[in-house]
Structure 1
Amino acid sequence: MSGQLLTWLSVLAFLLGFIALVLEIFVVPGFGVAGMAGIILLAWGVLLLAVDFTQATAALVVALALTIVVFFLGLKFMSRLNLWQRLTLGTRLEKDEGYVAGQVDLVHLVDLTGVALTPLRPAGTVEIAGRRLDVVTGGEYIPAGAKVQVVRVEGSRVVVRRADYI
């Protein structure tokens, strides 16, 4: 391969890797294919530009070490200037301020029967005593329209089984 083609190939790999990392950060959520492809393309671009493998490996190790140092310096800088508090939500939803989860007592539904409004595979919606409820089964599939019976209630979790076979 000619030297000029190799140079352009390494620049292209490096730029594509950079673009993939930018897409991963700003467009694609999580750390997935774009992030891994970006890291691999960046490393490949550096390896192609190197005179020999030892030089490329040394450059990548130095780059990794500098990245770690800059990361920890950035953390220290953010804590000293209170930048972290500006980036995160500082308020809390405290119980004494009136923020509580809705407490619904569903124990009275045990042994009542109703109708599955959606297929329960194993979660879905049923109507019991005139109320629509989100429920789960013990693992079995129950088609929509089947009669169901409440087996137990665990907090806000309502467990049902098919009542046609009872």
Structure 2
Amino acid sequence: MSPELIPWLAALCFLLGALGLILEIFIVPGFGVAGISGLLLLGWGVLLLVVDVTQATQALVIALVVTIVLFIISIKVVTKLNLLQRVSLSSRQYKETGYTAPKPGLARYVGSRGTVITPLRPSGTVEVDGERLDVVTEGGFIPRDAKVEVINVEGSRIIVRWIKES
């Protein structure tokens, strides 16, 4: 290979290596072919520019060690200063602050019948087995004092159907 082409080949290797790493970080999930190829091409591009292979290897090893040390230091600083709390959810969801979880056992109402307490347009209140429940209809309006049947429960959402008496 001609000595004039070596800097161009090194630049090409370096650019392809950087492109491989960018693909690995932003497009391809995991650490696979693009990432490993990118690292190898970056290393080969640096080695092509240095006349003495021993000197280039030594520089790469020093750079690797410095990178690892800086990474460990940055992890310790981030954990010590609690910087991760700014990007992670650490608060609890209490009833007093407005959070309510769905009541367990609402599925037992499926098939039960009740009476509409407030007009359902399409949501409102129904009394089933002596309990007041917040419900929604299948889509239409249901007047007060109408009879309804619970047809489905999805989480905390109770769906009712109007029982039109003949």
Shorter-normalised TM-score: what interval?
0.5 to 0.7
Unpaired segments of 5 or more residues in structure 1?
104-166
Rg larger in structure = 2
Q: Does 1:88 align with 2:88?
A: yes
Structure 2 residues without counterparts, runs of 5 or longer: 106-166
Distance 1:93 1:52, change over 3 A: farther
Secondary structure at 2:5 match in 1: helix
Distance 1:41 1:91, change over 3 A: farther
The residue aligned with 1:64 is 64
Rounded Cα–Cα distance in structure 2 between residues aligned with 1:52 and 1:7: 15
Kindly state the Cα deviation for residue 29 of structure 1 after the two structures are TM-superposed.
0.9
Write out the 4+ residue segments of structure 1 that deviate beyond 3 Å after TM superposition.
91-94, 97-100
Report the equivalent of 2:37. Answer: 37
Residues 1-166 of structure 1 correspond to what in structure 2 (within 5 A)?
Answer: 1-91=1-91
> What's the TM-score once normalised by structure 2's chain length?
0.52
Tell me the C-alpha RMSD between the 2 structures: 3.2
- What is the aligned-residue identity percentage? 55
Question: Alpha-carbon deviations, 1:53-92, whole Å to 9, x = none?
Answer: 2112101101110110110121122123322222333246
Residues 1:29 and 1:3: Cα distance change in structure 2 (over 3 Å): same
**What is the total number of aligned residue pairs between the two structures?**
106
Distance in 2 of aligned mates of 1:28 and 1:10 = 25
Q: 1:99 to 1:66 in 2, by over 3 A?
A: farther
